[in-house]
A and B are shown apart, each in its own frame.
Chain A
Amino acid sequence: MGQRIDVEHLNVYYGDFLAVQDVNLNIQANKVTAFIGPSGCGKSTVLRTLDRMHEITPGARVEGKVLLDGHDLYGKDVDPVAVRRDVGMVFQKANPFPTMSIRENVLAGIRLNNRHISKSDADELVEWALRGANLWNEVKDRLDKPGVGLSGGQQQRLCIARAVAVHPQVLLMDEPCSALDPISTLAVEDLINELKRDYTIVIVTHNMQQAARVADYTAFFNLKAVGKPGHLEYFADTTTMFNNPQNEEAERYISGRFG
C-alpha cells in the first residue's frame, strides 16, 4: 500500500540561494500527483526532497517538514539511506547499470545492499517486478543480456522494475517519458495507472496532456522571475486544473498564454 506525503512550509536552498519557497502540499496515498510548471520553477527540486536525494548535491539543504505517513523524513533520527528504500525514484534518463544484465538490474537494490536472497526468491522477485513493469513478456528469454541493450522505453520500464523491486511505498518519477517516443510513453503511462494501486506516485512532467491523462491531482509550480525562488502556485484535482482552474497564472500556463 502507498503512503501519503504531507509537505509543510518547505524551503529548499542550494547554498545561500533559495530555490523553492514555502511549499505546502498534501499528496494522497495511492493517487498519482503530477508536478507541472515552467523550467526552473523547482518541480524536480521539490520531488528530490521527498526522498532526500536533494542533499546529494553539495551545499543543498532544506527547511520545513516532509511527513511520510506522519513521520518527518528530515527528523534527527532518520537515515536518508533508509528513506530512499521506502521512497523509490525513476529518473528522466533511463539509467540501467551498464555492467549488469537485465536480471541483475532488477535485483540491484538487493545485491548492492549486500542482502542475501535465495535463487528461487530472486527468480520470483525478478518475474514479479518485471511483470509489474509490463516488461516480462518482452525480456523473459534474455534476462542475462545486458540491460543497456534494450530500447529506450524498455530501459525506462526496467528502471521502474528496479525501483519497484525494493518494495517502496512511494514512487517518484522525474520526467520519466521525456526521452521516449509516443508508443513507449503510452506503455509507461499505462503502467503508472496500474502501479497506483500499490504505490503513491508523484510525477514531474513538462507534458500537460500527460499530466491530464495520468494524474489524479496536479500541482502547478511557478516562479516570479528568473533568479527568484519558485513556489507552489496552485494545487487542485486534475479535472479542475485543466478544465476550470481557479488561478489565473495556472490558466495562462495551461492554455499556452504564458509569459
Chain B
Amino acid sequence: MSPNKNGNISTTTDLRDSSDETAKNSVLTASASQSVDVSANVSCESAPVTPDFSKFAPSDSLLKRREWKSRIMAGIITAAFVIAMIPLVSVLWTTIARGVKRLNLNFLAYNMSGVIGGMPTPSGGHGGIEHAIIGTLEVTLGAMVISVPIGLMCAIYLVEYARGSKIAKAISLLVNVMSGIPSIVAGLFAFSLFTILLGPGVSNGFEGSVALSILMIPTVVNSSVEMLHVVPDDLREASYALGVTKSRTIIKVVLRTALPGIISGVVLAIARVIGETAPLLMTAGFIVTTNWNLFSGQMTTLPVFVYQEYSKMSVTCPPSAGSECVSSIPSERAWAAALVLIAIVLVLNLIGRLIQRLFSVEAK
C-alpha cells in the first residue's frame, strides 16, 4: 500500500487501513493525529509483549544497603545542623544570661554622665545606654536614608535600563567588589571625606551614617537586583500593552510587585551594619552624654559602647565604698548593651516581616 492522503506510513493490516478511512471522513485538520492514535493502539493489540517483571524485583542486600546509606546520610546532615546551631545558641544564651543582670528601665533611660567608677548614680542605677540607643537608631536611620534610594535606583538602572549591557556588567562587578570592602576601610573613607570637607578631627553621627551606607549600598543593590529580576517580564508586557509608560510600569507594577522582597533585603542590610563597631569608632566617636543631633557632635552607638565598656573590664572600688560599689560593672553593662542590640535587630526583623506581609502578593 502506498502512503495515503493523510501522510501516514504505509500499513499492512486491514484494521489500520479502515482506521485511516474513518479518519479521512472526519475533519480534515484532525485526521492526521487521530489516525496515528488509532493505529498505535492496534499495533499494541496485534503484537502483545509479555513484560519481564522479575527484573524489577530488588535483592534483599540492595534494599539493606540503601537503607543504611540513607540512615548514615541522615545522621551526617543532622549532625551538621547541630554543629551549626551550637555557636548560635551559645551566643544567645551567654548574652541573655549575662545581660539580664543589668537590664532594667534605669539602664535604658539614663546615659553615662555622672557615672564614677563602680559607684551608683543619684538615679539609683549604675549608668545606662540611652545615649547609645539613640545614637545607633539615628546613625542607622541616616545610613538607610542614604543607601536605600541610591541602592534601589542603581538596581532599577541595572535591571530595567542597562540589562545585560557592558556598563551594567561593569557596575555589577564594582558593586560586588564594594560588598567585600572591610568595614574599617569604609570608616577611613568617611573619616577622610569629612576631613577634606569640614577640616581635620570632625566627628559626628552623620559621618558614621556615611561610613555605614558604603557598607549597605552593595547589599541593597544586590538584593534589589535579584528581586527585580524575579518580577516576570509578562507583567511588564501586560502593563506596556495597556498603554502604560515605562516609568509608570516600573513604579506601579515592577517595584510594587518586588516590594516585599526589597523590604526584606533592606532589613538584612540594616542588620548587617547595625552591629558595626570599627568604622563608627573612628567616625561617630564616643561620648557619655546624650546627643540628639545627628549632624553635630560625637555620638555613641551600641556596638562602640559595648567595645568601650568591655575593654575596661572592671573598675577598682575604694575600700571605704562598701557593697554599693560594683567592680565588675563595665563588663556587666557591656553584656546588657549587647543584649539590647540583639533585641533591636530582632525587632527590626519583626517590623520588616510585618511590612512584608502587608504588601505581600496574596495567593488566596
Contacts and interface: CB of A to CB of B under 8 A. Distances in A.
B272 interface: no
Contacts of B252: 111-112
Interface string A134-151: 000000000001101100
A253 B235 CA distance: 34
B242 A85 contact: yes
Contact of B244 (A98, A109, A148, A212): A109
Interface string B24-50: 000111111100000000000000000
Tell me the interface secondary structure of chain B in the complex.
helix
A242 B256 CA distance: 47
A255 interface: yes
Interface string B216-254: 000000000000000010111111111111001100110
Given A98-B257, A255-B7, A256-B31, A112 B249 contact: yes
Contacts of B52: none
Nearest to B249: A112
Interface stretch (B104-112, B291-299, B321-329, B356-364): B356-364
B277 interface: no
A7 interface: no
Interface in A60-112: 81-86, 88-89, 91, 93, 95-99, 108-109, 111-112
A18 interface: no
A84 B243 contact: yes
Contact of B241 (A111, A163, A209, A242): A163
Q: Which of A56, A85, A98, A111 has the most CB of B within 10 A?
A: A98
Contact of B7 (A56, A146, A149, A257): A257
A53 B32 CA distance: 35
Given A91-B234, A257-B7, A209 B30 contact: yes
Contact of B238 (A97, A149, A254, A255): A97
A255 B243 CA distance: 39
A99 B256 contact: yes
A55 to B, nearest CB: 10
A112 to B, nearest CB: 4
A53 B253 contact: no
A21 B13 CA distance: 46
Contact of B363 (A97, A149, A209, A242): A149
A251 to B, nearest CB: 10
B64 interface: no
B28 A254 contact: yes
A112 B254 CA distance: 12
Interface string A209-250: 100100000000000000000000000000000110000000
Given A255-B28, A256-B32, A257-B7, A95 B237 contact: yes
Contact of A212 (B5, B29, B248): B29
B89 to A, nearest CB: 38
A224 to B, nearest CB: 20
B247 to A, nearest CB: 11
A85 B253 CA distance: 17
B7 A256 contact: yes
A31 interface: no
A173 B156 CA distance: 30
B229 to A, nearest CB: 16
Contact of B242 (A58, A98, A146, A166): A166
B6 interface: yes
A2 B249 CA distance: 27
A110 to B, nearest CB: 9
B241 A89 contact: yes
Contact of A95 (B235, B248, B256, B361): B235
Contacts of B234: 91, 93, 95
B23 to A, nearest CB: 10
B163 A108 contact: no
A208 B363 contact: no
A159 B363 CA distance: 17
A45 to B, nearest CB: 14
A157 interface: no
A51 B241 contact: yes
A90 to B, nearest CB: 8
Contacts of B235: 95, 97-98
29 contacts: A53-B237, A81-B243, A84-B242, A88-B241, A91-B234, A95-B232, A95-B237, A96-B238, A97-B235, A98-B257, A99-B256, A99-B257, A99-B359, A108-B239, A109-B244, A112-B239, A146-B364, A148-B361, A149-B363, A166-B242, A209-B27, A212-B27, A212-B29, A255-B6, A255-B29, A255-B31, A256-B6, A256-B32, A256-B33
> Closest 9 CB pairs between A and B?
A256-B32, A85-B243, A257-B7, A95-B234, A89-B241, A109-B242, A84-B243, A98-B361, A112-B244
Interface of A: 51, 53, 56, 58, 81-86, 88-89, 91, 93, 95-99, 108-109, 111-114, 145-146, 148-149, 159, 162-163, 166, 208-209, 212, 242-243, 254-257
